[in-house]
Chains A and B, each alone.
Chain A
Amino acid sequence: DIQMTQSPSSLSASVGDRVTITCRASQGISNYLAWYQQQPGKVPKLLIFAASTLQSGVPSRFSGSGSGTDFTLTISSLQPEDVATYYCQKYNSAPWTFGQGTKVEIK
């Protein structure tokens, strides 16, 4: 099975900072990659699909890039409401594996 590895596992940044989270697939998955945000105590929310397509209603400070094995989620200007754990997920074939998550906190 293809493994999904996120880095870092956690990070702390200041409001307004640019934040980058990476996700690496152990084999190529084309652009079948999604990013989800899970705020504390809340349900996961789809942010980005097809590696770089922003889901409707998601703020434009979020962006995604990559193809094949290496992917990136960027928050251009971190806001207090962005405190959350972020997960990548592959969906090109079974199993629909999630990364282990990246916890984002405000410094």
Chain B
Amino acid sequence: EAQLLESGGGLVQPGGSLRLSCAASGFTFSSYAMSWVRQAPGKGLEWVSIISNSGGSTYYADSVKGRLTVSRDNSKNTLYLQMNSLRAEDTAVYYCAKSYGSGSLMRAFDIWGQGTMVTVSS
């Protein structure tokens, strides 16, 4: 059974940094694009970033461009999100999600992790 497990969330001061991890199991991680999606408390879903299966292509929402960086280690079946220069508006549950169907970035997200909470506050 395909599973995703996020970790690394917590409380951080404005301007600070955090690195989220997403451990994958139950599927061939290196075959699928992976994404980060966030949800602020009481709000809707916001797509954050996507990375191709090889890691060679990445895309970001305008709201995080230049501050958040997605990467992956296919030898460790792990997705990462490096978060720098954090702002209060980055406070949210961060989900990692697997793309449906191998290879392409242009896919829906069929498997989601449980999420990890990031709180940016002084």
Q: Show the binding face of A for B, using Cβ within 8 Å.
A: 1, 32, 34, 36, 38, 43-46, 49-50, 55, 85, 87, 89, 91-101
Contacts and interface: CB of A to CB of B under 8 A. Distances in A.
B45 A44 contact: yes
B112 A91 contact: no
A93 B110 contact: no
Contacts of A91: 106-108
Given A89-B47, A98-B47, A49 B95 contact: no
Contact of B45 (A46, A55, A94, A101): A101
Interface string B40-63: 000011110010000000010110
A43 B108 contact: no
A87 B44 contact: yes
Nearest to A89: B108
A94 B112 CA distance: 20
A95 B108 contact: no
A85 B50 CA distance: 23
B109 A46 contact: yes
Nearest to A85: B44
A43 B45 contact: no
Interface in B87-120: 95, 100, 106-110, 112-115
B35 interface: yes
8 contacts: A32-B106, A44-B45, A46-B108, A46-B109, A91-B107, A98-B45, A98-B46, A98-B47
B92 to A, nearest CB: 13
B110 A55 contact: yes
A105 to B, nearest CB: 16
Contacts of A32: 106
A44 B59 contact: no
Contacts of A96: 35, 47, 50, 59
Nearest to A35: B108
A94 B51 CA distance: 11
B115 A43 contact: yes
